[in-house]
Structure 1
Amino acid sequence: MVSDEPVRDTAQDPDADVESVARTILLNKLTDSPRSRAELAEALARKHVPDDVATRLLDRFEEVGLIDDAAFARAWVESRSRSKGLATKVLALELRRKGIADEIAREVLADVDPDSEREAAHRLVQKKLRSMRGLDDTTRIRRLTGMLARKGYSPQVAFDVVREELEADVEPLVST
Protein backbone atom coordinates (compact mmCIF):
# COMPACT_ATOMS: atom_id res chain seq x y z
CA MET A 1 0.00 0.00 0.00
CA VAL A 2 1.42 3.38 -1.01
CA SER A 3 0.98 6.14 1.52
CA ASP A 4 -0.19 9.66 0.67
CA GLU A 5 1.86 11.04 3.57
CA PRO A 6 5.11 12.80 2.75
CA VAL A 7 8.03 10.43 3.12
CA ARG A 8 10.29 11.28 6.04
CA ASP A 9 13.98 11.86 5.60
CA THR A 10 15.73 9.22 7.70
CA ALA A 11 18.49 11.66 8.71
CA GLN A 12 15.95 14.08 10.18
CA ASP A 13 13.77 11.50 11.93
CA PRO A 14 15.82 9.06 14.02
CA ASP A 15 12.65 7.27 15.18
CA ALA A 16 11.68 6.31 11.63
CA ASP A 17 11.81 2.64 10.65
CA VAL A 18 14.44 3.02 7.96
CA GLU A 19 13.38 -0.02 5.97
CA SER A 20 9.72 0.96 6.03
CA VAL A 21 10.55 4.51 4.94
CA ALA A 22 12.79 3.20 2.16
CA ARG A 23 10.11 0.77 0.95
CA THR A 24 7.58 3.62 0.85
CA ILE A 25 10.00 5.78 -1.14
CA LEU A 26 10.49 2.99 -3.69
CA LEU A 27 6.78 2.25 -4.01
CA ASN A 28 5.92 5.94 -4.41
CA LYS A 29 8.56 6.38 -7.10
CA LEU A 30 7.42 3.27 -8.98
CA THR A 31 3.80 4.39 -8.77
CA ASP A 32 4.62 7.63 -10.58
CA SER A 33 6.32 5.94 -13.52
CA PRO A 34 8.80 3.16 -14.30
CA ARG A 35 12.28 3.88 -12.97
CA SER A 36 15.73 2.45 -13.39
CA ARG A 37 17.52 0.90 -10.44
CA ALA A 38 20.01 3.78 -10.45
CA GLU A 39 17.24 6.39 -10.25
CA LEU A 40 15.67 4.57 -7.31
CA ALA A 41 19.04 4.24 -5.56
CA GLU A 42 19.55 7.97 -6.00
CA ALA A 43 16.12 8.70 -4.50
CA LEU A 44 16.97 6.56 -1.48
CA ALA A 45 20.33 8.29 -1.07
CA ARG A 46 18.64 11.72 -1.14
CA LYS A 47 16.53 10.58 1.84
CA HIS A 48 19.65 9.33 3.64
CA VAL A 49 18.70 5.65 3.54
CA PRO A 50 21.78 3.64 4.56
CA ASP A 51 23.48 1.85 1.67
CA ASP A 52 22.99 -1.63 3.11
CA VAL A 53 19.23 -1.11 3.50
CA ALA A 54 18.97 0.46 0.04
CA THR A 55 20.87 -2.39 -1.61
CA ARG A 56 18.83 -5.05 0.18
CA LEU A 57 15.51 -3.46 -0.82
CA LEU A 58 16.60 -2.74 -4.41
CA ASP A 59 17.75 -6.35 -4.76
CA ARG A 60 14.40 -7.60 -3.41
CA PHE A 61 12.39 -5.31 -5.69
CA GLU A 62 14.48 -6.54 -8.62
CA GLU A 63 13.97 -10.16 -7.56
CA VAL A 64 10.17 -9.80 -7.56
CA GLY A 65 10.17 -7.92 -10.89
CA LEU A 66 9.31 -4.42 -9.69
CA ILE A 67 12.67 -3.17 -10.97
CA ASP A 68 13.82 -4.35 -14.40
CA ASP A 69 16.38 -2.15 -16.13
CA ALA A 70 16.09 -4.01 -19.44
CA ALA A 71 12.30 -3.61 -19.55
CA PHE A 72 12.65 0.01 -18.46
CA ALA A 73 15.19 0.66 -21.24
CA ARG A 74 12.98 -0.98 -23.90
CA ALA A 75 9.96 1.07 -22.82
CA TRP A 76 12.04 4.27 -22.67
CA VAL A 77 13.48 3.77 -26.16
CA GLU A 78 10.06 2.93 -27.62
CA SER A 79 8.42 5.93 -26.01
CA ARG A 80 11.11 8.50 -26.78
CA SER A 81 11.67 7.36 -30.36
CA ARG A 82 7.92 7.39 -31.02
CA SER A 83 7.05 10.65 -29.27
CA LYS A 84 10.18 12.70 -29.94
CA GLY A 85 11.64 11.00 -33.02
CA LEU A 86 15.00 10.56 -31.30
CA ALA A 87 17.77 8.59 -32.97
CA THR A 88 19.73 5.86 -31.19
CA LYS A 89 22.67 8.19 -30.49
CA VAL A 90 20.57 10.47 -28.28
CA LEU A 91 18.65 7.54 -26.80
CA ALA A 92 21.95 5.98 -25.71
CA LEU A 93 22.89 9.19 -23.90
CA GLU A 94 19.51 9.34 -22.19
CA LEU A 95 19.78 5.72 -21.05
CA ARG A 96 23.23 6.41 -19.63
CA ARG A 97 21.82 9.39 -17.70
CA LYS A 98 19.11 7.09 -16.33
CA GLY A 99 21.80 4.76 -15.02
CA ILE A 100 21.21 1.92 -17.47
CA ALA A 101 24.26 -0.29 -17.94
CA ASP A 102 25.99 0.12 -21.32
CA GLU A 103 25.51 -3.57 -22.12
CA ILE A 104 21.74 -3.37 -21.58
CA ALA A 105 21.56 -0.14 -23.58
CA ARG A 106 23.48 -1.71 -26.49
CA GLU A 107 21.14 -4.73 -26.53
CA VAL A 108 18.01 -2.57 -26.48
CA LEU A 109 19.30 -0.12 -29.09
CA ALA A 110 20.38 -2.98 -31.37
CA ASP A 111 16.68 -3.83 -31.71
CA VAL A 112 15.86 -0.40 -33.18
CA ASP A 113 15.10 -0.80 -36.87
CA PRO A 114 17.23 1.60 -38.97
CA ASP A 115 14.40 1.90 -41.50
CA SER A 116 11.88 2.96 -38.87
CA GLU A 117 14.42 5.43 -37.49
CA ARG A 118 14.82 6.92 -40.96
CA GLU A 119 11.03 7.05 -41.37
CA ALA A 120 10.86 8.99 -38.09
CA ALA A 121 13.36 11.48 -39.52
CA HIS A 122 11.15 11.88 -42.59
CA ARG A 123 8.08 12.51 -40.41
CA LEU A 124 9.94 15.12 -38.37
CA VAL A 125 11.08 16.96 -41.50
CA GLN A 126 7.63 16.78 -43.09
CA LYS A 127 6.04 18.24 -39.99
CA LYS A 128 8.60 21.04 -39.70
CA LEU A 129 8.43 21.87 -43.42
CA ARG A 130 4.81 23.00 -43.06
CA SER A 131 5.92 25.99 -41.03
CA MET A 132 8.79 26.90 -43.37
CA ARG A 133 6.94 27.67 -46.60
CA GLY A 134 8.17 31.25 -46.91
CA LEU A 135 11.84 30.52 -46.31
CA ASP A 136 14.55 30.04 -48.91
CA ASP A 137 16.02 26.56 -49.44
CA THR A 138 19.35 27.36 -47.77
CA THR A 139 17.61 28.43 -44.55
CA ARG A 140 15.27 25.44 -44.63
CA ILE A 141 18.16 23.01 -45.17
CA ARG A 142 20.16 24.55 -42.32
CA ARG A 143 17.23 24.50 -39.89
CA LEU A 144 16.02 21.03 -40.82
CA THR A 145 19.45 19.37 -40.69
CA GLY A 146 20.14 21.15 -37.39
CA MET A 147 16.88 19.81 -35.94
CA LEU A 148 17.76 16.27 -37.01
CA ALA A 149 21.30 16.61 -35.64
CA ARG A 150 19.92 17.65 -32.23
CA LYS A 151 17.76 14.54 -32.27
CA GLY A 152 20.84 12.39 -32.88
CA TYR A 153 20.72 11.67 -36.60
CA SER A 154 24.02 11.43 -38.46
CA PRO A 155 24.89 14.26 -40.87
CA GLN A 156 24.54 11.90 -43.85
CA VAL A 157 21.04 10.75 -42.84
CA ALA A 158 20.01 14.32 -42.03
CA PHE A 159 21.12 15.71 -45.40
CA ASP A 160 19.65 12.76 -47.34
CA VAL A 161 16.27 13.00 -45.61
CA VAL A 162 16.11 16.79 -45.95
CA ARG A 163 17.04 16.62 -49.64
CA GLU A 164 14.41 13.93 -50.32
CA GLU A 165 11.71 15.88 -48.49
CA LEU A 166 12.56 19.17 -50.17
CA GLU A 167 12.37 17.47 -53.56
CA ALA A 168 8.99 15.99 -52.63
CA ASP A 169 7.75 19.31 -51.20
CA VAL A 170 7.19 21.01 -54.53
CA GLU A 171 3.89 22.83 -54.19
CA PRO A 172 1.51 22.21 -57.08
CA LEU A 173 0.85 25.20 -59.28
CA VAL A 174 -2.64 26.57 -58.95
CA SER A 175 -4.21 27.50 -62.26
CA THR A 176 -6.28 30.64 -62.27
Structure 2
Amino acid sequence: MEDDLTHPASGATEEGAEHATVPAGATRPDDDPEAKARGICLRLLTSAPRTRAQLEAALRKRGIPEEVSESVLGRFSEAGLIDDVAFAGAWVDSRHTGRGLGRRALAAELRRRGVAEETVRDAVDDISAEQEEATARRLVRRKLDASRGAPDATRVRRVMGMLARKGYAAGLAYRVVREELEAEGSEFDLPDPDLGT
Protein backbone atom coordinates (compact mmCIF):
# COMPACT_ATOMS: atom_id res chain seq x y z
CA MET A 1 0.00 0.00 0.00
CA GLU A 2 2.88 2.34 0.71
CA ASP A 3 3.96 2.07 -2.94
CA ASP A 4 0.83 4.01 -3.95
CA LEU A 5 2.00 7.02 -1.92
CA THR A 6 5.50 7.12 -3.40
CA HIS A 7 6.52 10.21 -5.39
CA PRO A 8 8.04 9.23 -8.73
CA ALA A 9 10.62 12.04 -8.72
CA SER A 10 12.07 11.53 -5.26
CA GLY A 11 10.98 8.08 -4.23
CA ALA A 12 9.73 9.54 -0.94
CA THR A 13 6.39 8.72 0.58
CA GLU A 14 3.69 11.32 1.29
CA GLU A 15 4.50 11.31 4.99
CA GLY A 16 8.22 11.72 4.39
CA ALA A 17 8.14 13.94 1.30
CA GLU A 18 9.73 16.85 3.12
CA HIS A 19 12.58 14.54 4.19
CA ALA A 20 13.30 13.17 0.72
CA THR A 21 16.86 12.10 0.18
CA VAL A 22 19.03 14.14 -2.12
CA PRO A 23 21.31 12.30 -4.54
CA ALA A 24 25.00 12.33 -3.60
CA GLY A 25 26.80 15.47 -4.80
CA ALA A 26 23.58 17.46 -5.27
CA THR A 27 22.57 20.33 -3.03
CA ARG A 28 19.11 21.27 -1.95
CA PRO A 29 18.00 24.75 -3.08
CA ASP A 30 17.80 25.78 0.59
CA ASP A 31 21.46 24.81 1.04
CA ASP A 32 22.65 26.93 -1.91
CA PRO A 33 22.53 30.61 -0.90
CA GLU A 34 23.00 31.74 -4.50
CA ALA A 35 20.02 29.71 -5.72
CA LYS A 36 18.00 30.97 -2.78
CA ALA A 37 18.98 34.59 -3.57
CA ARG A 38 18.05 34.17 -7.24
CA GLY A 39 14.69 32.70 -6.25
CA ILE A 40 13.95 35.54 -3.83
CA CYS A 41 14.84 38.18 -6.43
CA LEU A 42 12.84 36.52 -9.19
CA ARG A 43 9.76 36.20 -6.99
CA LEU A 44 9.98 39.85 -5.96
CA LEU A 45 10.58 41.07 -9.52
CA THR A 46 7.69 38.99 -10.81
CA SER A 47 5.21 40.78 -8.54
CA ALA A 48 6.45 44.35 -9.21
CA PRO A 49 9.50 46.27 -10.42
CA ARG A 50 12.05 46.78 -7.64
CA THR A 51 15.16 48.83 -7.10
CA ARG A 52 18.51 47.27 -6.38
CA ALA A 53 18.34 48.61 -2.82
CA GLN A 54 14.93 47.00 -2.24
CA LEU A 55 16.23 43.63 -3.43
CA GLU A 56 19.39 44.03 -1.35
CA ALA A 57 17.28 44.68 1.76
CA ALA A 58 15.08 41.65 1.05
CA LEU A 59 18.12 39.39 0.66
CA ARG A 60 19.72 40.76 3.84
CA LYS A 61 16.45 40.21 5.73
CA ARG A 62 16.41 36.58 4.59
CA GLY A 63 19.98 36.00 5.75
CA ILE A 64 21.73 35.84 2.38
CA PRO A 65 25.47 36.60 2.75
CA GLU A 66 26.48 40.02 1.38
CA GLU A 67 28.96 38.62 -1.16
CA VAL A 68 26.30 36.29 -2.56
CA SER A 69 23.81 39.17 -2.74
CA GLU A 70 26.28 41.37 -4.61
CA SER A 71 27.06 38.59 -7.06
CA VAL A 72 23.42 37.79 -7.80
CA LEU A 73 22.36 41.44 -7.99
CA GLY A 74 25.29 42.19 -10.29
CA ARG A 75 24.24 39.44 -12.69
CA PHE A 76 20.61 40.58 -12.57
CA SER A 77 21.76 44.14 -13.37
CA GLU A 78 23.89 42.93 -16.29
CA ALA A 79 20.92 40.99 -17.62
CA GLY A 80 18.72 44.09 -17.37
CA LEU A 81 16.43 42.64 -14.72
CA ILE A 82 17.40 45.41 -12.30
CA ASP A 83 17.57 48.93 -13.74
CA ASP A 84 17.15 51.76 -11.26
CA VAL A 85 17.18 54.40 -14.02
CA ALA A 86 14.28 52.73 -15.85
CA PHE A 87 12.50 52.11 -12.54
CA ALA A 88 12.80 55.78 -11.54
CA GLY A 89 11.59 57.02 -14.93
CA ALA A 90 8.58 54.72 -14.95
CA TRP A 91 7.80 55.50 -11.30
CA VAL A 92 7.86 59.26 -11.88
CA ASP A 93 5.73 59.03 -15.01
CA SER A 94 3.18 56.75 -13.39
CA ARG A 95 2.86 58.57 -10.06
CA HIS A 96 2.81 62.05 -11.58
CA THR A 97 0.22 61.14 -14.19
CA GLY A 98 -1.88 58.79 -12.09
CA ARG A 99 -1.73 60.30 -8.59
CA GLY A 100 -0.78 63.87 -9.44
CA LEU A 101 2.31 63.88 -7.25
CA GLY A 102 4.66 66.84 -7.47
CA ARG A 103 8.40 66.65 -7.98
CA ARG A 104 9.22 66.94 -4.28
CA ALA A 105 6.99 63.99 -3.30
CA LEU A 106 8.26 61.89 -6.20
CA ALA A 107 11.88 62.51 -5.21
CA ALA A 108 11.11 61.52 -1.61
CA GLU A 109 9.44 58.28 -2.72
CA LEU A 110 12.39 57.33 -4.93
CA ARG A 111 14.88 58.07 -2.14
CA ARG A 112 12.86 55.83 0.22
CA ARG A 113 13.20 53.05 -2.34
CA GLY A 114 16.98 53.43 -2.35
CA VAL A 115 17.43 55.12 -5.72
CA ALA A 116 20.71 57.05 -6.04
CA GLU A 117 20.42 60.84 -5.72
CA GLU A 118 21.65 61.56 -9.25
CA THR A 119 19.11 59.11 -10.69
CA VAL A 120 16.37 60.72 -8.57
CA ARG A 121 17.28 64.19 -9.87
CA ASP A 122 17.37 63.02 -13.49
CA ALA A 123 14.01 61.27 -13.23
CA VAL A 124 12.28 64.16 -11.48
CA ASP A 125 13.78 66.68 -13.92
CA ASP A 126 11.89 64.88 -16.69
CA ILE A 127 8.79 66.67 -15.37
CA SER A 128 8.89 70.23 -16.63
CA ALA A 129 7.70 73.17 -14.57
CA GLU A 130 4.84 73.56 -17.05
CA GLN A 131 3.79 69.92 -16.62
CA GLU A 132 3.88 70.23 -12.85
CA GLU A 133 1.81 73.42 -12.95
CA ALA A 134 -0.73 71.87 -15.34
CA THR A 135 -1.12 68.87 -13.04
CA ALA A 136 -1.48 71.10 -9.97
CA ARG A 137 -4.08 73.19 -11.80
CA ARG A 138 -6.07 70.08 -12.76
CA LEU A 139 -6.02 68.88 -9.14
CA VAL A 140 -7.08 72.29 -7.83
CA ARG A 141 -9.98 72.57 -10.28
CA ARG A 142 -11.22 69.12 -9.35
CA LYS A 143 -10.98 69.81 -5.61
CA LEU A 144 -12.60 73.25 -5.89
CA ASP A 145 -15.44 71.84 -8.01
CA ALA A 146 -16.04 69.10 -5.45
CA SER A 147 -16.20 71.61 -2.58
CA ARG A 148 -18.57 74.20 -4.07
CA GLY A 149 -20.91 75.52 -1.41
CA ALA A 150 -18.34 75.30 1.37
CA PRO A 151 -16.87 78.55 2.72
CA ASP A 152 -13.92 79.78 0.63
CA ALA A 153 -11.57 79.60 3.63
CA THR A 154 -12.41 75.91 4.06
CA ARG A 155 -12.00 75.21 0.35
CA VAL A 156 -8.62 76.97 0.25
CA ARG A 157 -7.38 75.13 3.35
CA ARG A 158 -8.35 71.77 1.84
CA VAL A 159 -6.82 72.51 -1.55
CA MET A 160 -3.59 73.88 -0.08
CA GLY A 161 -3.30 70.87 2.23
CA MET A 162 -3.81 68.49 -0.68
CA LEU A 163 -1.12 70.21 -2.77
CA ALA A 164 1.32 70.19 0.15
CA ARG A 165 0.76 66.46 0.73
CA LYS A 166 1.31 65.80 -2.95
CA GLY A 167 4.66 67.58 -2.86
CA TYR A 168 3.98 70.89 -4.59
CA ALA A 169 6.01 73.97 -3.64
CA ALA A 170 4.11 76.57 -1.61
CA GLY A 171 4.68 79.35 -4.16
CA LEU A 172 3.27 77.28 -7.01
CA ALA A 173 0.34 76.14 -4.87
CA TYR A 174 -0.60 79.68 -3.79
CA ARG A 175 -0.37 81.03 -7.33
CA VAL A 176 -2.45 78.24 -8.89
CA VAL A 177 -5.10 78.34 -6.15
CA ARG A 178 -5.35 82.15 -6.35
CA GLU A 179 -5.72 82.05 -10.15
CA GLU A 180 -8.33 79.29 -10.05
CA LEU A 181 -10.34 81.11 -7.37
CA GLU A 182 -10.26 84.29 -9.48
CA ALA A 183 -11.35 82.29 -12.55
CA GLU A 184 -14.46 81.07 -10.73
CA GLY A 185 -15.26 84.60 -9.51
CA SER A 186 -14.32 84.18 -5.86
CA GLU A 187 -13.25 87.30 -4.00
CA PHE A 188 -11.32 85.36 -1.35
CA ASP A 189 -8.08 87.19 -0.57
CA LEU A 190 -5.35 84.57 -0.63
CA PRO A 191 -2.06 86.06 0.61
CA ASP A 192 1.00 85.87 -1.59
CA PRO A 193 3.69 83.91 0.32
CA ASP A 194 6.46 85.64 -1.66
CA LEU A 195 5.25 89.12 -0.73
CA GLY A 196 4.17 88.26 2.80
CA THR A 197 0.73 89.78 2.17
Relative contact order (alpha carbons < 8 A, sep ≥ 6): 1 or 2 greater?
1
Q: 1:111-162 CA deviation, whole Å, 9 max, x = no partner?
A: 2111111111011111112221111111111111111111111111111111
State the TM-score, normalizing by the size of structure 1.
Answer: 0.85
Are positions 1:121 and 2:129 aligned together? Answer: no
Letter in 1 for 2:143: K
**2-structure distance, mates of 1:118, 1:127:** 14
Greater CA radius of gyration, 1 or 2? 2
Report what 1:80 is aligned to. 95
Report what 1:159 is aligned to. 174
Report what 2:149 is aligned to. 134
RMSD value over aligned CA atoms? 1.7
Report what 2:4 is aligned to. none
SS in 1 for 2:57: helix
Identity of aligned residues (%): 50
**1-structure distance, mates of 2:65, 2:92:** 32
Letter in 2 for 1:66: L
Are positions 1:39 and 2:45 aligned together? Answer: no
Letter in 1 for 2:62: K
Report what 2:113 is aligned to. 98
Which residue, out of 30, 36, 43, partners 1:21? 36
Distance 1:160-1:51 versus aligned 2 partners, 3 A rule: same
Distance 1:44-1:107 versus aligned 2 partners, 3 A rule: same
Gaps of 5+ in 1: 1-12, 172-176
State the TM-score, normalizing by the size of structure 2.
Answer: 0.77
Aligned-pair CA distance for 1:14:
9.8
